[in-house]
Structure 1
Amino acid sequence: MNNTLYSRWIQLHNDSNLRKNLPDKISDSWYESFKANVDPTKSVPFMYSKKDFEKVKEKSKSIYIHANYVLERMYKCMPQSNLGLVLFDKNACLLKLYGSDSFMTWAKENYLAKGVVLSESVVGTNAVSLGLRHRQAISVVGEEHFSKFAIEIASYFSPVILELDKNEMIVYGGVAIIGPVSEKDSNLLVTAIAISREINLQMFWFNNLTTLTSAINGYGIIGVDQSSGKNHVLFSNKNLFDILSIPPVNIYYNTLEKIIDPSPKNKKFWKIINNSEIVTDMTINLSINNHQIYVSMSTTPFFEQKFHIKGLSIHLNSTERLNNLISNHTGNNARFTFATIVGQSENYLEILNHAKAAAFSSSNILLLGESGVGKDVIAQAIHNESPRRNKPFIAINCAALPKDLISTEFFGYAEGAFTGSKKGGNVGKFELANHGTIFLDEIGDMPLDLQATLLRVIEQKSFMRIGSNISTKLDVRIIAATNKNLMEKIKQKEFREDLFYRLAIIRINIPPLRERTEDILLLADNFIHLICERINKAPVKLSPEVKDFFINYNWPGNVRELQNLLEGTLQIYNDKTITLHRIQHYFDTAFQLYDPSKTFVPPERTSNTLAVNRDTGTSDEKEALINALNLNKYNKTRTAKYLGISRRTLYRKLNEHDLL
């Protein structure tokens, strides 16, 4: 170390009068520089190679870009031409200088150039390394510098730091006002602080813009600056990478072409971007890494005059998420669960147990049963019990769709698929149900040609919109239902056998209401409660005659008939008790629509005791059992109730008379 400087350093640290004029941080830094064996007479800043400096700039491009907008404007307002603005990264590497030609010449003569590093371990005490280490604004002027090369320099440095909270602080670098020591002015430190705060504000705004846009669930947002004739990414959010199915990467100030290929496959997207077109919710197809995805795209222009930024904010949303929103807000969701299903009869509880077990399987299910037994209710409960419960549930009645529209309803169509097709195309039910469950009711009425298409979709796990050549991957669980005898339809060549076996991997046969008599009054009470609550009516009871009629009635329309009967009765009458007269009037109205000469006569109930002749044996008892079985169409539960005995007793007696 130079003896003169060493003596001066010793003098500063031993002479209290001299030391009190030197700030503590500078004095401590001198001590650290001395300990690090920095030679004050020979040390000059280290300089990166051109290749390494490019890497430094890439890592620091966030502060480089944001500060550039501020500093380009600021240096033109500097009153002294000999002063300049200098931008540093977080490791004290000089990124860029701003100033007049005379300043640039002076800076070069004093080892200040792009790529130099003012590290304390290399050049000793200086404002940049001190400000970054202590994370505060600081000035080092003239002989306060440790090394000789900086003795004629005055520098006023303020760091650029983003404090997200008390525990998280991001240091990006800082800005310095630098010039000859003859231009020193303590007020310049305040100016440096003001400039760094404006840079801070820009970085805070863009950082929070990214955070805020990420909070908009499902939307991928990109802001591009087009002022230079290119599409530089100013901000983006994490949702963007999920929608595009690419790994998250830092794309800040990269060109948009880095993530969305400008090939002819994306012609529609780039036409919008390059022409700065304003679009709203336009469905387009994107090719990303040879993978095709549909997105909904909207664009909004923005312009910031102060920083000369002109560009587009691009909003992308996956059609899958939009489809989920549509299905949830248009009633295409499952409301029923196993907990809300009413029933206690043995045969029905057994069916519910089978359905619960099936819910956790990924196999397709076929629900069998008469019209009105509640196949749709079981389907919804299965969906809500399954791992797909938070995904869409889409129900479609195959018998209700016109034959010429059923394919487009199922699979949608592309734009221009046919005359009169909607701009942007249309989403089909299978696409809406993707990753969820699709319920195909009345599957037995599906046309044969569509059966072949459905079979192919099930096997290939993909489909194409009508008029499109783009295949969409499909992950959907199918629950089909029918009241038809599909085996008979297969024999008659009206239903494909191969499709039947694809759909009927799990088969659940739902019993009609007449075979679950224990549930009739439970269901009636439940419907009365729900209907009265919905129409704001006081609770209503059933008369004993009505209860007796309900248990013995055949219910050809099953649960739906019971529900509709109660709905119609409760809507019309204000009685506190529903009487058999009201029920008869309800049925008579329906009969008279078809045959005015007919009236409804409630079925009469015969003696509910077994006719047994104990003197002559059991022949009368056997005959009574046979009659009861015939009257109740061999339904054991109803037969037992009809005879006023338990099911166990009925089975014992049937066994005694060889009737099982």
Structure 2
Amino acid sequence: MTRVPEGQMFSDPGSDAAVMAAWERFLDGESRPSDSLRALVDRSWQRCQEQNVDPDKRSAPPPVDESMLESMKEHHGELLQASAPIMACARDFLAETGTVMALADTSCTILTMEGDNPTIGTAESIHLLPGVSWSERICGTNAIGTALAVGEPVQIHSAEHYCAGIKRWTCSATVIRHPHDGEIIGVVDVSGLSESYSRQSLALVVTTASRIENKIAMREMERRYYLLEASLQRWSNGTDGLVLFDRRGYPVRANEIAQAAMTSLGADLDLSAPRRVTALAIGDNGELVRTPALPAWLRPEWLEPVYGAQGQRLGTLLVLPLPRIGRAISGEGARRLVSEPAVAANDMPSGFTSIITRDPALREAVRKADQLARSKVPVLLLGETGVGKEEFAQGLHKASPFRDGPYVALNCGGLSRELLASELFGYVDGAFTGARRGGMVGKIEAANGGTLFLDEIGEMPLDLQPHLLRVLEQSEIYRLGENVPRKVSFRLIAATHRDLRKEVADGRFRMDFFYRVAVTSVRIPPLRDRVGDVRELARHFVERFSKQHELGLRRLDEELLARLESYSWPGNVRELRNVVESVLLMSDSECVGIDALPPELLGMADSPVSAPVATALGALATNAPVGSIAEGEAELIRRAIAATHGNLTRAARELAIAKSTLYQKVKLYGLERDIGRVRAG
């Protein structure tokens, strides 16, 4: 997308004669652009010439037939529905200024028009009509086609048009973007005869596009509510990985198991930074478009359609089943499990007894959290994904003055701004179309008298942060659509895996909000730095899942335990828990061996090392010692990236790990800049 400088955004009617002379010289082959010609227009003329557009063209082509136009309108029903009341509001202004407003799709085909009736009649002479495409390739430089080409607001006046037959007109246009991802979904244009020129026309189309985008955002929020409600009963199943996709193919909710299940399948999809899976978008017929094809890791039988009350398809549920291989023991009853005892928890402070560790650093973090629990100030929990921030938050609540009140948790990641706002603040009856009768209590209000735990607070949109800051400062909350405040009193615990000071420096997190939520903080060390905890936690999870799945006597052999201890655990305790559950389910033996491990753990020591990585290993061995296992692993990955010139597929193969695992580690160690530097060099 080309960004147009503000000074080049507006046409200058006073330069019309000079622009006309420049156009004639351009057609005669003069290469040097005129000083009176805006760079935006010059580049557009160049594109027109390259596409062999006829400069003598008198009008656009005739419109498509009625049935084709109706089909196009049906396909863009949401865009038309959102724009209709907004365009109707502009009707009087358009009539007074002798202009018309057109709405076009992404092929620049006009879908509908509003405005001054005499001007609409005159527009027919150049086929400025519904059903006609006004792309640059067909009609040369014009506001609709050029706005789509550059992705920015555009004003084209009189002689600036490329085709001779359109030079009596002046027009302003801008693109309409989907509010969730910025995808261009249409163009809005205001056109009139040259005498109607006004800079305000460009302001009008920009405002109109913004209002249409807001309408679509509200409609998307309603659809997602319906989708979440329609799929609610499926979330009680804790044995499968679940990911809910909306009608455009965006993940809107996932359970804890989902990311680990997808990672084990080699899926290149990070649920902490959701992106669109186009193959899971729903077409006009209510079926998946499957263009492009489904990813190789995803089986069609794992997909379940989610329907609304009226029978319309709202989205798709991806169900990633975990194998159930263990057999229940019958007879007199299940045998008593025999395994080495996990570390006793009775020496932990009350409230933190679920945390299993022998590591001094983690024990110090627990001691600090227990001390902070007695106060009422906010606490910020810092640590990588999966280290156990939720357990710390619950411990802080159980040992706090608010322990008799509710404990309410909300993950700020993976939710759209609108969903997060309504989840936090709630809404009143009638706040928007489709709102629940009687309204909804938000998480802040639900936590009144207790604890509110906001996980991944670093993902909170910048414009929502001052609203939560106001709640913390004034102990008052406004539900969406409400003008009367409600008093609230709660203890805030927040958590993040991000470096919030860096986020503040980069402008992605408000400084005043940071100092309010980080009055005190507790840093939780990653599992790879906690000596002895992998073995203790593995034994704990063996006991827990053997009982849960009725597997009988189970234990991990020494080779498997040693392999678990040598792994870096980018997903920390959560990843270890999922791996242990997986190996138990994948093995029928009483003693679970190393062959039950998933590929990324099984292959990390046995696979041959390629020449470039062997060189990197040798270089690493001869350098000064690193400060930790994590630093050594990061350095090895950095050298593998350099040896493969930034090709992550090759680097993963040569490091003998899954590509998805490498992506996780690159993100974990902040090596994205190394990739960019290597590729640029």
- Tell me which structure has the larger Cα radius of gyration: 1
TM-score range, shorter chain: 0.3 to 0.5
Q: RCO greater where, 1 or 2, for CA within 8 Å and sep 6 or more?
A: 2
Question: Is the strand fraction higher in 1 or 2?
Answer: 1
TM-score by length of 2: 0.38
